[in-house]
Amino acid sequence: MDFRNGDDGRVSAGDVSGDDTTGDMFETSPQEKTPVEADVQDKMNKTDTIEDAPVAEAAAAALGNAVAEAVKTAAAPKLSSKDIQARRFTIVTDEARDANLTEFGKETLKDRYLLPNETYQDLFARVADAYADDQDHAQRLYDYISKLWFMPATPVLSNGGTGRGLPISCYLNSVEDSLEGIVNTWNENVWLASRGGGIGTYWGQVRGIGETVGLNGKTSGIIPFVRVMDSLTLAISQGSLRRGSAACYIDVSHPEIEEFLEIRKPSGDFNRKALNLHHGVLLTDEFMEAVRDGGDFDLISPRDGTVRKTVNARALFQKLVETRLATGEPYIVFNDTVNRMMPKHHRELGLKVSTSNLCSEITLPTGRDHLGNDRTAVCCLSSLNLETWDEWKADKQFIEDVMRMLDNVLQDYIDRAPDEMARAKYSAMRERSVGMGVMGFHSLLQSKNISFESAMAKAMNLQIFKHISAKANEASMMLAKERGPCPDAEDTGAMERFSCKMAIAPTASISIICGGTSACIEPIPANIYTHKTLSGNFVVKNPYLEKLLREKSKDSTNVWNSILEHGGSVQHLDFLSPEEKATYKTSFEIDQRWLLEFAADRTPFIDQAQSLNLYIPADVDKWDLMMLHFRAWEMGIKSLYYLRSKSVQRAGFAGGVEADNTKDAAKFNLAAGEETDYEECLACQ
């Protein structure tokens, strides 16, 4: 497979018509429709309203037929190692580089990513070979990965160089205000989830509860439709090896916003809950200004723009923040900020970002575009390892090589994605957006004995992201000259191969593979914790703290037990200097205003967004918490991910913490057996 002329495989605009042909798009075969399917299609063809009567039948048809097909696909015989693509290049591997991996990292690769009889270096070579331009590029990619300079996203590690799956599994789409639009979205989401996709869906265009449908009908609102999406995703997750997951987003001005905030709370009317879905809210400048002024805010019908209700903006904002404190969600996207800062050629084309993904770092256009075609955005990710910053910052080819690889991954997806993903293929072809991110920021600071809460850390943050952004922009223009600009850019005369180039994903898994470096741009959760895997428990110690303790002749079991008893903190250790204690502060010990300041500083250099978590003690003052969220908007930050709150300190817990608002801390827990629902999109890990 030659990627150098990737646009030869473009999807034509005619493949994804703006007309309502999406019903045909998702047919599994040219066979005739079943009577149920035909009846549902007939009802949808007769009306563009959301009648309650056909909803149950439509949902039953989507759930019954699409789930059966998807589960059947998931249950098909798995590809064996014999189905690995033949190597195109001769890559010289170095088994000694296994030493760069921790035991935990090795077990993670064994559990999830290695093919039968494949070594760690074979895996890295397989991925490099699959997505390289030529022999030299392949060797360089292998060297970068094996030296842990960067790591491709997990779908690339799993499926690169094989025929068994796709290298992208993160999607964003939008729902139209019609029964056909809703059912088509259900159908598309089934196919995406059946392939382990993480899906972010925008429901803000669908009319709210009590609005008129047909002649005399009243809609039951978006919640029942969201519940069907919840059931579909759960059904596919249970029938598939790689678990699908989903998030739904609406505008803060939607008439159902108050009920939507509580759809994940187990109390109340169970028929209006979606306990397995994640959710997010789009906050506008108008709303945030009303919060600032203590004014009223109108909830508007997305159908006709009429005012359905007026609420106090500050009270609604307080409810949102308190829900985040209790449950960790909803995610927040400041959509006016996002749309102001979207690529210039997308603004010129009149495109709009109306949703995000499961990790709130992807901000790409969805829905009907300027050509009248529907887009389902896709996220093509990989992350640079900042812990090795000093090794690669002067390498002139490194970032260009990574961007070339991402372009090839994107082309592989376009070439191999099935027809059921036509909207996603179309979007990928038109904009060719990628999300090069980072991990290891806190590890880099600790390797240099720099406190997170310092001017030096602030300066390094700016230096790093200026450099990466400049190199990514250079690579995009270079590849545009070499391979042609992406169609969206070409339509406006811009020389850009990629519409978007950067996004900071959570990197939960690939940071473990990269020597246990700190995840994305986050501070470390604890200086010692235990991580559970399929292969058992692994005690993870901060390597820089371990080195410091050795130098002080304090690297003893008693000292580490003491750190564990104090929730992974070293602030109680008298033999450490104030500077050393500051360097090894954990996420809950760091003033969260520093996280906001760093995020704001790097925002101009990231054309998408950041998975930005905040860490809050359970007894936080509610006003301070509201101000923290308000400051995020004031500072121009695009999105906020989870709000992680600490309630219980208990010996034996990783980070010494059991999260009050979610069970996620249990995955670092020495003794916990609970499953977490505090998840990242698999593609973003």
Distances (CA, A) of 459 to 28, 339, 435, 441, 453: 54, 27, 23, 13, 11
- Whole-number Å distance between alpha carbons of 152 and 326: 34
Write the DSSP symbol of residue 504.
Answer: B
Residues contacting 430, CB < 8 A, separation 6+: 369, 375, 486, 487, 488
Concerning whether 170 is annotated as a catalytic residue, the answer is no
Residues contacting 415, CB < 8 A, separation 6+: 1, 9
608's tokens:
């998408």
Per the CB < 8 A criterion, the answer to whether 353 and 364 are in contact is: yes
Per the CB < 8 A criterion, the answer to whether 294 and 303 are in contact is: no
- Whole-number Å distance between alpha carbons of 415 and 409: 10
Residue 211's Cα: distance from chain center in Å?
Answer: 33
Concerning whether 359 is annotated as a catalytic residue, the answer is yes
Distances (CA, A) of 305 to 213, 298, 309: 15, 10, 12
Annotated active-site residue in 107, 188, 361, 387: 361
- Whole-number Å distance between alpha carbons of 514 and 283: 35
Per the CB < 8 A criterion, the answer to whether 502 and 468 are in contact is: yes
Per the CB < 8 A criterion, the answer to whether 664 and 641 are in contact is: no
Pairing of strands 245-251, 278-283: parallel
Annotated active-site residue in 159, 173, 184, 357: 357
- Whole-number Å distance between alpha carbons of 502 and 591: 26
Residues contacting 169, CB < 8 A, separation 6+: 155, 195, 196, 197, 198, 242, 681, 682, 683
Per the CB < 8 A criterion, the answer to whether 199 and 244 are in contact is: yes
- Tallying the residues shown for the chain, one arrives at 685
Residue 422's Cα: distance from chain center in Å?
Answer: 21
Write the DSSP symbol of residue 674.
Answer: P
- Whole-number Å distance between alpha carbons of 20 and 545: 59
- Whole-number Å distance between alpha carbons of 327 and 678: 9
Strand partners, 173: 201
614's tokens:
């905040």
671's tokens:
């003794």
Residues contacting 629, CB < 8 A, separation 6+: 317, 321, 324, 332, 640
Annotated active-site residue in 248, 359, 520, 681: 359
Sheet holding 245-251, edge to edge: 377-378, 170-174, 198-202, 245-251, 278-283, 331-334, 639-640
Distances (CA, A) of 259 to 51, 263, 291, 631: 21, 7, 19, 25
Residues 501, 506, 508: CA angle, nearest 5 degrees: 130
Concerning whether 357 is annotated as a catalytic residue, the answer is yes
Question: Nearest-CA neighbor of 461 among 604, 591, 614, 602?
Answer: 602
Pairing of strands 198-202, 245-251: parallel
> Any idea which residues carry the catalytic annotation?
357, 359, 361
